[in-house]
Structure 1
Amino acid sequence: MMSAIFSALLLLTTSVGAAERWETLPPTPPPVAGEKSGYAEVNGIRLYYAAIGKGSPVVLLHGGLANSDYWGLQVKALASRHEVVVVDSRGHGRSSRDTRPYGYDLMADDVVALLDHLKIRRADIVGWSDGGILGLDLAIRHPDRVGKIFAFAANTVTSGVKEGVEKNPTFAAYIERAGREYRRLSATPKEYDAFVEQISHMWASQPNWTDADLKGIKAQVLVVDGDHDEAIKREHTEYIAAAIPGAGLLILPNASHFAFLQDPALFNAALLQFLDGK
């Protein structure tokens, strides 16, 4: 009896002291084993990609500092009905970069070049953070190459980002983890600090789209975020959905900038519903 009471008290104490789900940073999934993978020589760089599954193509674009492994749980959900393509953005993960400064237009052009390399005329885009920005960039500048856009935790002007996000404990843990992964995957493993500094210049000034830019988007867009995003202001997410004609808005409960890791079941259900109506 005393043992049962002690166990119950221990469980209660653990539960009370445990972090909320939106405060957690679950592990990065293992690398996706693609049916075909390799490097595309595009735009002056070597761009790593992997493709798996059959069906209409979907390209998954990761967030800043990250790599394509972060999408492992979504690849599993999508590959039974889609050709899923994951890619390490220029300078991220396994991909190289050249001397040009980071910019969303340049990185979006890399995606178009990869589509050409893979002989994919048009693809749906799923983007997280910087990847969501790239999805919107493609919709603005390359509308003939994209179908639906699932834009998670994106911003369209720099003021949409919360000040001091890098000091948030969960986000700081992500930055530290991303550094370890960079050193493991990159061909330039000692340059993480320089990489962060260089991409921070992009974040300081981009994106800076106008209302007219967003109103010109013709693609079907679902604007998505977690209700506890550490980085993106809620009012900015709502603004994006209101500015893009016909866009939907979805706020995922008890989740943050890392909702696809924190609640993959709900995230994937929303993703499949949007892409396939299922």
Structure 2
Amino acid sequence: MPTVHVNHCDIYYEIHGQGDPLVMIMGLRRNIEWWYRQIPTLEKHFKVVVFDNRGAGRSEKPAMDYSIGLFADDTAALMEALDIDYAHVLGVSMGGYIAQELAINHPQKVKDLVLGCTGCGGEKAVLMSADRMEKFTANQNLTPEEILKKDMDIYFSNEYVAGNPAAMAQFSEISMRYYQPADAFLRQYAACRKHDTVARINRVTQPTLIMTGDDDPLVPPENSFILKELLPHAQLSVFPKGRHCFFMEFADRFNEEVVDFFR
């Protein structure tokens, strides 16, 4: 199992394909498995580096305070360990938070940047609606499978869920792999709640593509519009009917735009 000890933590990683390096950073709770709609396409164009964040998947889950800056330092240290001087960087959700911090704190390592279903946090954060948050957090006495089923409408449009039972079964099976322990989730979640790049995001000078679904209930699309205002040089791509996993539901378009932007 490929792991490397960096920044006082064992990080699990995989490398797929050849070419210019592309580092992909996953979001809260999730792991490498959630890139299953991206890796087969992107590895044809890049040397794709994927990894499990500290506290998730097959990486170490130390009992300590986590922060988005710490995750970014982990990413930079992993790149150094793999002899990657700089790379294209793609981050979704919490991975987009991490990608921002990586570009701000380790700018020499980031050639260009794709930020998916994410935001700058802080005082400008647009949060999930109160009623959706109530449903999202009503997890007591539910199994992981029941929680995922309950929240499926966060990830995909209703039409996609109803019309693609085989895809939903595959997604559910993949989401149960290397499932994150509750204590590690809480440490990652606490880091997300403190995310704030509002006053520093102008340090991101690399070419940037912001991507969002226009119906994302978890990280509302307004957060991407705010990022675009704070990064006037950035491009913005909006996916109609896209929810939080728009990069899976609309994988063909997403992957094509990522390849076109990075190339």
SS at match of 2:61: coil
Query: Residue 184 and residue 248 in structure 1: after superposition, are their counterparts in 2 closer, same or farther (change >3 A)?
Result: closer
- In the TM superposition, residue 242 of structure 1 has moved relative to its aligned partner by 1.6
Q: Which has the higher contact order (CA 8 A, sep 6+)?
A: 2
Aligned to 1:100: 64
1:201 maps to which of 182, 190, 201: 190
Matched, 1:72 2:36: yes
1:247 maps to which of 234, 238, 246: 234
Matched, 1:228 2:215: yes
Q: CA-to-partner distance for each residue in 1:213-248, whole Å, 9 max, x for gaps?
A: 112211111111001111123322111012114111
Aligned to 1:47: 11
Aligned to 1:82: 46
Give TM-score, length-normalised by structure 2. 0.81
1:162 maps to which of 100, 109, 128: 128
CA separation in 2, counterparts of 1:94 and 1:38?
Answer: 10
SS at match of 1:95: coil
Q: Which amino acid aligns with 2:186?
A: E
Query: Residue 163 and residue 170 in structure 1: after superposition, are their counterparts in 2 closer, same or farther (change >3 A)?
Result: farther
Matched, 1:238 2:225: yes
**Structure 1 residue ranges (4+ consecutive) displaced by more than 3 angstroms after TM superposition:** 163-166, 168-171, 177-184
SS at match of 2:34: helix
Structure 2, unpaired ranges of 5+? 137-147, 156-168
Query: Residue 170 and residue 255 in structure 1: after superposition, are their counterparts in 2 closer, same or farther (change >3 A)?
Result: farther
* Structure with max Cα Rg: 1
CA separation in 1, counterparts of 2:60 and 2:172?
Answer: 16
Aligned to 1:110: 74
Q: Sequence identity of aligned pairs in percent?
A: 25
Q: Note if contact 1:48-1:94 (Cα within 8 Å) is conserved in structure 2.
A: yes
CA separation in 1, counterparts of 2:150 and 2:229?
Answer: 27
2:256 maps to which of 246, 269, 272: 269
Q: Note if contact 2:61-2:184 (Cα within 8 Å) is conserved in structure 1.
A: no
Q: Alignment RMSD, CA only? A: 2.5
CA separation in 2, counterparts of 1:238 and 1:77?
Answer: 28
Q: Which amino acid aligns with 1:105?
A: G
- In the TM superposition, residue 99 of structure 1 has moved relative to its aligned partner by 2.9
1:139 maps to which of 103, 124, 148: 103
CA separation in 2, counterparts of 1:93 and 1:69?
Answer: 9
Query: Residue 63 and residue 77 in structure 1: after superposition, are their counterparts in 2 closer, same or farther (change >3 A)?
Result: same
Q: Note if contact 1:93-1:182 (Cα within 8 Å) is conserved in structure 2.
A: no
1:167-206 residue pairs with structure 2 within 5 A?
Answer: 167=135, 172-173=151-152, 184-185=177-178, 192-204=181-193, 206=194
- In the TM superposition, residue 269 of structure 1 has moved relative to its aligned partner by 1.3
Q: CA-to-partner distance for each residue in 1:162-192, whole Å, 9 max, x for gaps?
A: 24455258772479x9998787526xx7xx2
Q: Note if contact 1:152-1:223 (Cα within 8 Å) is conserved in structure 2.
A: yes
Q: Note if contact 1:62-1:68 (Cα within 8 Å) is conserved in structure 2.
A: yes
CA separation in 1, counterparts of 2:150 and 2:226?
Answer: 23
Structure 1, unpaired ranges of 5+? 1-36
Aligned to 1:12: none
CA separation in 1, counterparts of 2:71 and 2:175?
Answer: 18
- In the TM superposition, residue 107 of structure 1 has moved relative to its aligned partner by 0.4
Q: When the two structures are aligned, how many residues end up with a matched partner? A: 233
CA separation in 1, counterparts of 2:9 and 2:173?
Answer: 23
CA separation in 1, counterparts of 2:239 and 2:210?
Answer: 11
Query: Residue 71 and residue 78 in structure 1: after superposition, are their counterparts in 2 closer, same or farther (change >3 A)?
Result: same
Q: Which amino acid aligns with 2:189?
A: S
Aligned to 2:141: none
Aligned to 1:62: 26
